[in-house]
Chain A
């Protein structure tokens, strides 16, 4: 599918079929997000490739219990989206961990600003607000992956503004 604006726009609108409302957190939500990413591949190519395995964890996302999903970044794509143990898995390089209220605020703010979230809702800002938002990693070298691929990760979150997100209560 083609991009409506220029080929590498940070906020371009993908011409994908409307998947309808998707619930966060869910595997379907992340699959829809990766579909947007693939439509916007020119932007990701411009940013450069990312190679890491990371987890999104909603610490109270499963009826008050932790919910987690693992994404495998390979070059300009996400080649794996699998539900993961909410306890940190050693296969992951790093994990974002936050309660649903934080994720909800991030996704809503990103949507409201059409893919350009306010300062206090960017991944980096949040990563410096522990313990509200935690970047967990086995060691600092793996944690540094986040900083190496920050633009790609932020772009992925920014692309969530194309989704109609509903939130699990």
Chain B
């Protein structure tokens, strides 16, 4: 059988393939530098196994009271809260010294000198990550997961007039752009937070999953409604600013409390102005996820301020950061790709965009008041220093 090869079917030759050799060299050197520990572990175990004996030393659980306590199962099942009542399991140090994977509450002290030290675990103060609602929020997140594939009546999104269809797709494109950054931020910090803060890490993992699903649902919404539309440079800069935040607390303020607080408002507006049941369902489901992230942000911020050894200094630094953060968010929301589709959807069509912008102006005031109330709840008084105007900065309506 002849091979059917013609010029138009030829593919270009592969370019230079990136080499992993240098990275592999380093990995090998690192391995060799710990050769003594590897060798000791292997030799000890090999000798014992060769002698046909068992250790069974791990069966001694007296050091942490194995078997003396059993968690009590609550009405919703066995929660983190339930297991943290077991002595030795729930105590969390104010400053964590363990930089390994060894579980909090396990018998780990005897092995300390044989364990690797994970230097990237450098967020060691509890006040930098903890919030008093983080455990119930984690459980709630697990209980309220949903599926963008299964739970949205996707056959319901068509049939909109072109202006509303395009506005819906632009809003969905913008939200697709936003959502993964909201996942990247906790992902960036997750590997810097030690295992002893396991509840925080667990919650952050749910936030990453939530944001993945939001990105998925808005991407699907745009493609079901006609296609993805325009990216938004102003928001790109805002998202980068979140990722570049100087520390976890400041980034959490900018993302969870301020940014997601406003995105929560967009979801509420989105549900209000949705023209289809599918859109309503999307915004409702995203709203509940977003509200969890905001709740973590508010109480994390509060925990930080309440427990910082120098509250006045911490507050002043946070004010300095908030001065910038508010300008970052306001600049992002000034983008036409964000506020114009919302105005068109609010007004009910392109011909009513001025009316929609007036409606957006009223909502803006609500959004900012809610932001300030969240700051109040965290014990952070921004009212006198807030740099975002209570009125929509570009007025209720804009001349076309």
> Which residues of A are in contact with B by a Cβ distance under 8 Å?
47-49, 51, 74-75, 116, 119, 122, 124-125, 127-128, 139-141, 143-145, 147-151, 154
What chain A residues lie within 8 Å of B283 (beta carbons)? Answer: 124
Whether B288 and A151, one on each chain, are in contact in the complex, defined by CB atoms closer than 8 angstroms, is yes
Whether the pair A147, B291 counts as a contact (CB closer than 8 A) is: yes
In the bound complex, do residue A150 and residue B287 qualify as a contact, i.e. CB atoms below 8 Å apart? yes
Q: Which B316-357 residues sit within 8 Å CB-CB of chain A?
A: none
The answer to whether B140 has its CB under 8 Å from any CB of chain A is: yes
Q: Interface majority SS on A: helix, strand, loop or mixed?
A: helix
By a CB distance below 8 angstroms, the chain B residues around A147 are: 264, 268, 287-288, 290-291
Contacts A125-B272, A128-B363, A141-B295 given; does A148 touch B75 at CB 8 Å = no
Task: Supply 12 further A-B pairs (C-beta < 8 A) apart from A141-B299, A144-B295, A148-B288.
Answer: A48-B144, A49-B144, A124-B268, A125-B271, A125-B272, A128-B269, A140-B373, A140-B377, A144-B294, A147-B288, A148-B295, A151-B144
Q: Shortest beta-carbon distance, B81 to chain A, in Å?
A: 11
Total contacts A to B, CB within 8 angstroms?
Answer: 79
Q: In this assembly, does B167 line the interface, its C-beta being within 8 Å of a C-beta of chain A? A: no
A49-B39 Cα distance, complex, nearest whole Å:
51
Q: Does B298 contact A (CB under 8 A)?
A: yes
By a beta-carbon cutoff of 8 Å, the part of chain B in contact with chain A is 75-76, 136, 140, 143-145, 264, 268-269, 271-272, 274-275, 277, 280, 283-285, 287-288, 290-292, 294-295, 298-299, 363, 366, 370, 373-374, 376-377
Cα distance A124–B140 in the bound complex, in angstroms: 20
Contact B143 A128 (CB under 8 A): no
- CB pair A148 B269 closer than 8 Å: no
How distant is the Cα of A124 from the Cα of B287 in the complex, in angstroms?
A: 10
Cα–Cα, bound, A150→B145 (Å): 14
Taking a contact as CB atoms under 8 Å apart, the answer to whether B272 and A139 are in contact is no
Tell me the complex Cα distance, A88–B313, Å.
Answer: 37
A48 x B143 contact (CB < 8 A): yes
The 10 sampled A-B contact pairs (Cβ below 8 Å) are: A48-B140, A48-B143, A48-B145, A128-B268, A139-B377, A140-B373, A140-B376, A147-B287, A147-B288, A151-B284
Chain A residues with Cβ below 8 Å from B292 are 148
Residues in A whose Cβ lies below 8 Å from that of B291: 144-145, 147-148, 150
Known: A48-B140, A119-B280. A150 touches B288 (CB 8 A): yes
Contacts of A75 in B (CB 8 A): 75-76
Contact B298–A141 (Cβ < 8 Å): yes
In the complex, A139 Cα to B299 Cα: how many Å? 13
Quote the shortest CB–CB distance from B108 to chain A (angstroms).
34
A51 near B136 with CB under 8 A, answer yes
Top 4 A-B pairs, shortest CB-CB distance: A48-B144, A147-B291, A140-B373, A48-B143
A74 and B271 alpha carbons, distance in the complex (Å)? 26
CB distance from A110 to the nearest CB of B (A): 14
| Residues in A whose Cβ lies below 8 Å from that of B288 | 147-151
Q: Which chain A residue lies CB-closest to B371?
A: A140
Which partner residue on chain A sits nearest B76 by CB separation? A75
The interface residues of chain B lying within 8 Å CB-to-CB of A47 are 144
Cα(A128)–Cα(B273), bound, Å: 11
In the bound assembly, the distance between CA atoms of A132 and B264 in angstroms comes to 22
Interface centre among A119, A127, A147 (most CB of B within 10 A): A147
| Bound Cα distance A149, B373 (Å) | 20
In Å, the complex CA distance between A127 and B291 comes to: 15
